[in-house]
């Protein structure tokens, strides 16, 4: 009996991202102590944020919770708050303080005045990111231009089989046709991410599990 379900004895690990909400890029409606305009988040990379506030460009930082940037003598800091919107939308609000530095010439000191500011936008709720990672142990079967790892287990009087397929491009198959034949029919282990074929007409069956990324099987260690 051949099954394509995940329920058979594969050591699977479902990993889902649980990090803080991402800061959406785009145009936000901003209000800085009564002055209204646009906060534009142009890009976020490695914690560095580029954008503009009320028409003035800035480069700031984003640590996953707090946005910080400076324009002239003003430093803006805000925490991100999210709440459900309508029809799979999320409402994002940045709320915090603006610290304005003013030099007092007669006293040779700098006076810092703090006021409030916020910015809001509504965007599509992001789809949670996850992955299925597995260490698969089974027999490699090479059949012409197709290959899979066969994992078998005894279920009562029957032997159940799960096949995890190799899904590769034409260029990748040129390399696999050289590296896989010596492993054909042998027990191998593969540590990789898995996915499920949802389209028809592919080189592997619809609904089948397949290895994501480069396929790199290794000979399994024989029991001592």
Report pLDDT digits (tens) over 65-86: 899 999 998 999 999 999 988 8
The Cα 84–Cα 194 span in angstroms is 31
pLDDT in tens, 116-142: 999 999 988 877 777 888 899 999 999
In this prediction, residue 147 carries a pLDDT of: 94
- C-alpha R_g of the chain: 28
Q: What domains lie within the chain, and their CATH numbers?
A: 2-15+130-219 (2.40.50), 19-124 (2.40.128)
Strands 56-62 and 48-53: antiparallel
Q: Model pTM?
A: 0.51
Cβ 213 vs Cβ 169: under 8 Å: no
Cα within 13 Å of Cα(73), Cβ side: 9
Q: What percent of the chain clears pLDDT 90, i.e. is strictly above it?
A: 54
For residue 59 the two structure tokens come to 């480069």
Q: Rounded to the nearest 5 degrees, what angle is found at the Cα of 180, between the Cα atoms of 194 and 155?
A: 55
Which residues in the chain show pLDDT less than 70? 1-21, 102-111, 201, 223-224
Q: Which residue is listed with tokens 């991410």?
A: 193
Q: How far apart are CA 54 and CA 64, in angstroms?
A: 23
């Amino acid at each position: 009996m051949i099954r394509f379900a995940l329920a058979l004895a594969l050591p699977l690990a479902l990993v889902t991202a649980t990090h803080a909400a991402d800061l959406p890029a785009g145009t936000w409606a901003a209000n800085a102590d009564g002055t209204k305009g646009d906060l534009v988040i142009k890009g976020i990379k490695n914690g560095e944020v580029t954008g503009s506030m009320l028409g003035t460009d800035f480069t700031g930082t984003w640590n996953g919770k707090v946005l910080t940037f400076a324009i002239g003598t003003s430093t803006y800091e805000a925490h991100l708050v999210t709440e459900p919107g309508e029809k799979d939308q999320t409402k994002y609000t940045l709320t915090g303080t603006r610290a304005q530095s003013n030099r007092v010439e007669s006293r040779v000191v700098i006076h810092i005045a703090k006021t409030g500011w916020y910015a809001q936008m509504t965007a599509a709720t992001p789809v949670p990111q996850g992955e299925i990672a597995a260490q698969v142990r089974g027999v490699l079967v090479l059949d012409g231009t197709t290959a899979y790892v066969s994992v078998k287990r005894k279920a009562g009087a029957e032997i159940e089989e799960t096949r995890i397929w190799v899904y590769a491009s034409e260029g990748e198959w040129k390399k696999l046709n050289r590296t896989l034949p010596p492993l054909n029919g042998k027990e191998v282990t593969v540590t990789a991410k898995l996915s499920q074929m949802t389209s028809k007409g592919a080189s592997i069956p619809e609904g089948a599990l397949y290895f994501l990324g480069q396929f790199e099987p290794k000979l399994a260690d024989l029991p001592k």
